[in-house]
Structure 1
Amino acid sequence: MTFDQIAWLPVCAGATGVGLVLSFLLLRRRGAAAGLRLAAWSLLPMAAYLTGALRTLWQIGTAVVGFVTGLVFNPFVWAGVALAGLSAVLFLVSGVLRRRRRGAPATAAPSTPAVRRAGRGRAVTPGAPGPNATQPLPRPAAPAARKPPAKPADDDFSDIEEILKRRGIG
């Protein structure tokens, strides 16, 4: 059925009329907020007809229905969905394999001292004097051992922790 084969004025006026009657009944039963909300929804079909937006809404609706039915009943689309799923699985597997191949993180420092360039291609080891200096370069400070943050005396969860400990939980 096409858009022009439907008598839209009676359909929209009927939907608006039925909605307004129901909104009056709802207003008396559930209050003004519910009744006014249904009245607002009820006015939309007639507003769409009078503004000419109904034809656009029809075209959008037929496009969506056509897309969905083409998606559901087309085997090529399902093949595309299957390939997209396979692609996602391959991405996940490759990420797991990359992590395994890396192995343990390299936290140990190399056994040879680090060498840095000090102008004109000369190599200088850390702690050795610089090219124009008489004093040795400062060594980078060793990272300080991290201490766990001290618990504040007025911890909000201390009461809860005490109750859980008394009950043998955690």
Structure 2
Amino acid sequence: MLTSTVCAAVSAGGLGIALLTAYRKRFLAATRIAAFALIPIGLVMTGIIDWVTDLVFKPTVWAGFGVLALSALLFLVSRAAERRGSGGHDLPPAGRPDTLTPGAPAIGAPAGRPEGRSKTKGRKGTGGEFDDIEAILKKHGI
């Protein structure tokens, strides 16, 4: 009841401003103001205002929003923990065995290169990463 009165007053005020604007020969602006002024009374007539006030002023509705927010927060925390790898190791990941079978490569090992081999592209007895640096220095004439 109170919301209907407030919306009617807002609409009446807006229509008054539209009339003053039309009196100043600004008809396009007056038409827009009148359109906006009719929205609150239209919402009251359709019953949307009563629905919104029931939504806003009921504690059970707010408790429901709180439960939904808590659910979303728990979901986001579980996703963040899963991405960090800090939790969720209760079950083995799908497609990976619990134990390694003999001859099977380790899960973290890159395919195609045995674990004991260095990155030196087939050269034996060299410094590994220092060879790359030496090649760059020779390329630049240093």
Q: Same fold (TM over 0.5)?
A: no
With the shorter chain as reference, the TM-score category is 0.3 to 0.5
Which TM-score applies when normalising by structure 1?
Answer: 0.35
> Which structure exhibits the higher relative contact order, with contacts defined as CA atoms closer than 8 Å and separated by 6 or more residues?
2
